[in-house]
């Protein structure tokens, strides 16, 4: 009989400066629920939801300066075609991920 239990709960990671770098939810050892990351300056870096280990819903990312970087929509782990939006670090909408890094 296997007595090992799979983990359910929240995992929190920290930067060297002791600020939270990530917070991820697990259910029975599988990513399930919100997953958030932050830059070491405290600005939010990303936010996504997992359902049974797959991306589900809106996946948002931000530039280090706090400006929005990208948004994508997922359903059952699959990117919804045409849902991607990008912004440069000044907050201006751009047409590609390459332009968003400029």
CA distance 40 to 43: 7
φ, ψ for residue 91, nearest 5 deg: 90, 5
Q: Is the pLDDT of residue 1 over 80?
A: no
pLDDT in tens, 8-67: 999 999 999 999 999 999 999 999 999 999 999 999 999 999 999 999 999 999 999 999
pLDDT at 2: 55
How is domain 9-100 classified at the architecture level of CATH? Answer: Single Sheet (2.20)
| Whether the predicted model's global pTM rises above the 0.85 cut | yes
pLDDT at 3: 59
CB of 6 within 8 A of CB of 28?
Answer: yes
């Amino acid at each position: 009989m296997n007595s090992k239990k799979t983990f359910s709960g929240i995992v929190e990671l920290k930067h060297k400066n002791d600020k939270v770098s990530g917070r991820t939810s697990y259910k029975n050892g599988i990513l399930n629920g919100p997953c958030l990351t932050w830059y070491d300056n405290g600005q939010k870096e990303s936010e996504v939801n997992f359902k049974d280990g797959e991306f589900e819903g809106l996946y948002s990312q931000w530039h280090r300066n706090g400006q929005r970087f990208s948004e994508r929509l997922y359903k059952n782990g699959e990117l919804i075609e045409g849902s991607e939006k990008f912004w440069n670090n000044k907050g201006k909408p751009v047409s590609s991920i390459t332009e968003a890094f400029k």
